[in-house]
Structure 1
Amino acid sequence: MKGAFEDIEVGEARETARRTVTKAEILAFAEEFDPQIFHLDEEAAKQTVFRGLCASGWHTASLMMRLQMDAWKSDYSLGSPGFDDLRWLKPLRPGDTIHVRATCIDKTPSRSKPDRGSARWKTEVVNQKGEVVLDAELIGIYRKRGAD
């Protein structure tokens, strides 16, 4: 199975499948987790800086994670210590179709745990117009092959 630390190469680029975001899911996420007016009320949102209804940034980040897991889930993944430089660059709108683009920018074997290493990924959520909606540097920890 691919996905071990040894399989990752600096410069490697990956893309996920595409997903269209619905108004209903934007509203449901906002009602539960981020009940701000520009995520909940289409008319009121027109009067905000967003000029219309848009998804929560945290909803966008959650969709990013789901798309990545659907595309690259691996038994070698040991989770993540976090991410750096998360930025929401454009609003995610109802009807937008997004995908994730990720490029490995660094790979480091662990000094304290020889059975694993980490990889840093420049990660972007891209809409149907080719605009980057979200970007961040994600860090993943991966088990080495043969390490149980």
Structure 2
Amino acid sequence: MALQQVLHAASLLSRDWGVAAEVWSCPSYTRLAREGRAAARWNMLHPQSPPQRPHIARCLGDSTTPVIAVTGYAQHIAEQIAPFAPARFLALGAKPLRGTAGADFPGAQWITVIALKALVDDGALSAQTLEAALRAYTLM
């Protein structure tokens, strides 16, 4: 469900705002975080050796494009990998719905606005673009 919203947000970013997005699926934020912590520990214990790079850092390379992680779990699950991402990292998670077994996933328009806000913060887009998106998606 969350991945569907992310894919929809990527299409909105492209169609409505001319912003290209890469979508990656993350089967286990916890596993990535564990691997990142292991690399950090190894680097601390072996200061004379070439440093190990966590898997997420190897995947994302030296990109400075903001990373927006969306999960169907609580936000803190995705936030585990923030220290190992090479660029600014934002996590969005689901909120449990009271009295139900499901969760409230971030919607595609909300994810789109979060991505645009990150680009505005980085100086890659104007604040007017963000304001236009908030109006277009009736989020303000």
With normalisation by structure 2, the TM-score equals 0.26
Q: Which of the two has greater strand per residue? A: 1
RCO comparison, higher one (Cα < 8 Å, 6+): 1
